[in-house]
Amino acid sequence: MQFGLCTGIDGLAVAEKAGFDYIEPPVANLMPDKPEPEFQKNKAQALSGRIQARAFNCFIPGNLKVTGPDADLEALKAYVESAARRAASIGADVIVFGSGGARRVQDGFPVDDAMKQVQEFLRAIAPIAADARVTIAIEPLNRRECNIINSVNEGCDLARQVNHPAVKALADLYHIGQESESYENTSAAGSLLAHVHIAHPATRHCPLPDDGCDYGAFFRALKAAHYSGRISFECGWDDLTTEAPISLDYLRKEWARA
């Protein structure tokens, strides 16, 4: 199992030194709305280390709406085309669709209509992602962060509705914990599961021995789903340099035991 760190491209050297297998930066580092020459410095930095960016998150900026009366599908497609192509050029094959601000349903807007817009968006960008050999991983977010798509089940249902191999789902232990969602939903995701985020399910801190969480139970659910992708640390740290080796060693052993 490969474990990565959610950090910007400028955190590559720190992540490598800490022992991570890859990094997962925000899509903003790809500068999708900027000309290609402006992106080249970030690309060079991303390719400068032993490890690389294998996934990207924070997909759609909050001002580029996926739902509601201001949603602009053509603008979204142009943004995604640039992001997917540049992500692939760096070596990534997953882009995480959390983007709570972009997909949040505005007050007074029908939720059913918003869900149809999300489906339309994903169907429109699926061929773009496929052409770039990138998978879009739908990230369920807890209700405090977004009011639509809040469980692994809902993420998988949405992926099934889109029905394209370039659109799958994500399981995030923190959001699962915040929603008190059963690990059985993760196990049932099966081949629809494309990516995983991990943090302490209550505190969002990095996983550590004796922190009160049974990470092995989550890993057993992943193995029941025959998950063979990657796991990214999307969490807080008191001291990354000190905690990362401990956390990584702990989770690698928990994965082996699960």
Share of the chain above pLDDT 90, in %: 100
Per-residue tokens: 76:
């979204």
Give the integer Cα–Cα distance in Å for 96 and 101: 14
Determine what percent of the chain is predicted with pLDDT higher than 70: 100
In order of their start, the domains of the chain are 2-257 (3.20.20.150)
Cα 64 from Cα 85, distance rounded (Å): 19
Handedness of CA 70, 72, 75, 77 (dihedral sign): positive
| HSE value, Cβ hemisphere, 13 Å, CA-based, for 72 | 11
- Identify the CA nearest to 29 among candidates 7, 5, 52, 4: 7
Give, to the nearest 10 degrees, the angle between helix 73-90 and helix 111-131. Answer: 40
- CA dihedral 183→227→6→215, nearest 10 degrees, is 40
- Mean pLDDT in the chain? 97
At 176 the pLDDT is: 98
State the pLDDT confidence band at 136, using cuts at 50, 70 and 90.
very high
> Which pair of tokens denotes residue 186?
């993760």
pLDDT at res. 204: 98
Separation of alpha carbons 217 and 215, rounded Å: 5
Output b/e per residue, 137-166; b: 16+ Cβ within 10 A.
bbbbbbeeebbbbbbbbbbbebbeebebeb
Could you give the CA distance from residue 131 to residue 83 in angstroms, rounded to a whole number? 12
Give per-residue pLDDT as tens, 31-79: 999 999 999 999 999 999 999 999 999 999 999 999 999 999 999 999 9
User: The tokens 């807890």 sit on which residue?
Assistant: 142
Separation of alpha carbons 101 and 146, rounded Å: 7
Label residue 122 exposed, middle or buried (CB < 10 Å: 0-12, 13-18, 19+).
buried
DSSP 64: S
